[in-house]
Structure 1
Amino acid sequence: MQEKLEKVLAEAKEQLSKATSIAETEEIRVRVLGKKGKLTEILRGMGKLSPEEKKELGMSANKVKSEVGDLLSSKMDALKAQAKEAKFNREKIDVTEPGRPVIYGVEHPITQTINEVVDIFKSMGYSVYESPDVDSVYNTFDALNSPEDHPARDMTDTFYVNDNTVLRPHTSSAEVRAEKELATPYKILIPGRCYRCDTPDATHSHTFHQIEMMVIGEGITMADLKGSLDLMAKKLFGPKTRTKFRPHHFPFTEPSAEMDVSCFKCGGTGCPVCKGSGWIEILGCGMTHPHVHKAGGIDTEKYTGFAVGMGVERIAMLKYGIDDIRLLYENDMRFINQFK
């Protein structure tokens, strides 16, 4: 029995000296010290021995078990240290190497334009009001003084979800919502996406963006409207920008106007951008029609107000010299990266 124990110890030392991995070392432990290991087999044969022999064999077996356990522990520690060192070598970072360049994103020119306009009007005390892209026919047309047989419904033809629900063709559909929800007086901006049944070309798209501007208060006049828009134009296109208001018709404002700005390319002398006129149209506006105020529950004897609708893509194209609206929707990073 003693010879077998010595042999088990010798074999364990030899195998552990050749082991190169934690898995191999674990296999050796199982072969020697496991429930079906060599040491266990030897101890099972103790039943035939005398008490003195059992005692002596038990002491020797414990000694071998302890020595093999120490060898296994040392081997495991050495292999774990090697594995850790190897991992460090694989994952180490050379801090003297130049770093990888960080690629920064850029806001889309439409987003930049919206943010710029919003910031201008926030400085004048306006707040942002959000409304849904999908709205009722009533808010979109009827409440805006455009009954079913009104020609304005053809001008702003949009996509119908059902007979009473549409994708909004203009952010003006939020005006009655705001009048019903907000406490007067107020000054708000309503930026958002709009939809119309347009065939895409260089200047038209079935999906586009608008910013609605709406003011309601006591004693609000056309002078307040013109002064606010003149300041916006100067901040947006430069301090020398001039503005011109031309009479127009919108069903939800009276009087109504379209606003032109002096061409920021030629300064008003005439060029291809302004088609030789020296002026560029950028938005429509007017004093809010009393019928719209009544639809929103506003006291028309006490309050007046004005509304403005501006196309974001049009302003972005003019400001940045973009000649095709479709470029704004293609998400070509070669195009978008120009606006950093």
Structure 2
Amino acid sequence: MYVCMYVIMNVTVRDALNQALDEELERDEKVFILGEEVAQYDGAYKVSRGLWKKYGDKRVMDTPISEMGFTGIAVGAAMAGLRPICEFMTFNFSMQAIDQVINSAAKTHYMSAGLVPVPIVFRGPNGASAGVAAQHSQCFAAWYGHCPGLKVLSPWNAEDARGLLKAAIRDDNPVVFLENELMYGVPFELSEEVQSKDFVIPLGKAKVERQGSQLTLVSHSRPVGHCLEAANVLAKEGIDCEVINLRTIRPMDIETIEASVMKTNHLVTVEGGWPQFGVGAEICAKIMEGPAFNFLDAPVVRVTGADVPMPYAKILEDNCIPQVKDIIFSVKKTLNLL
């Protein structure tokens, strides 16, 4: 008699990212990490913990506080055939280097007629944290998702973090990898399959986190958890929601969203970013232009961050970020239950 044992571990998002970095540094000697405090200090958020001691100065490099400078170095290294992982202490600071990210990294492969790939990963915390005010709270999913030449990833849980980061490092295109600071310490169960060194998540493919029949909720990053929580609350009232985790902002898996909308006939998008020209706005446009439009029984509703720079005060901050109650309200409004 044989007993099949499945090993399931609780792993935080931070540790999942750390494992992915470790395994890719070990797998490919062309991979290296650079950024502020990533080496001797183990990273500002401890994502690169232990990697400098294991791989040394040539593979894990501390840089001066100059995003434009070290991003330019990383882009040049990628053009020369290496695979840099460039950490921004927060993606708000990537604005200092946006010329390098867009004009150098994103456009070079196209402008060189495919002769010069730029295999680089730009990673770090994105979106609102807690009590860090306007200059540290923006979501850049729509900013970078707007730009051809980039792939843009937005993981939610530990599985996303591990599988998407490994895929991003192996990709020959520049990838913007948008983590969430408030998720770093959150543990998730990881199956034996996900723990494998060979596990990667295909870029450009969303995941249906919860099956449902009455309404589709689409989200990315931390709000995916809010959507699942809202769906569980609504289920107790007899409202059955499907929850889609986008995972990839660009290229966007609109086919999975369309298939869900054709089943549920209702759509609510949820994101932490601003409403104007946002990820939800793009999903609305794509549904409007595609075959799923004819299946909608009500207009698409967007749940977004407030259209203001983030306030510092906690009570104001809470009112600027989508909460579970906001999702529940929007679902009931879309289903004409209010």
Q: Shared topology, TM-score over 0.5?
A: no
Under a length normalisation based on structure 2, what TM-score does the superposition of the two structures give?
Answer: 0.22
More helix by share: 1
Under a length normalisation based on structure 1, what TM-score does the superposition of the two structures give?
Answer: 0.22
Specify the structure having the higher radius of gyration (Cα): 1
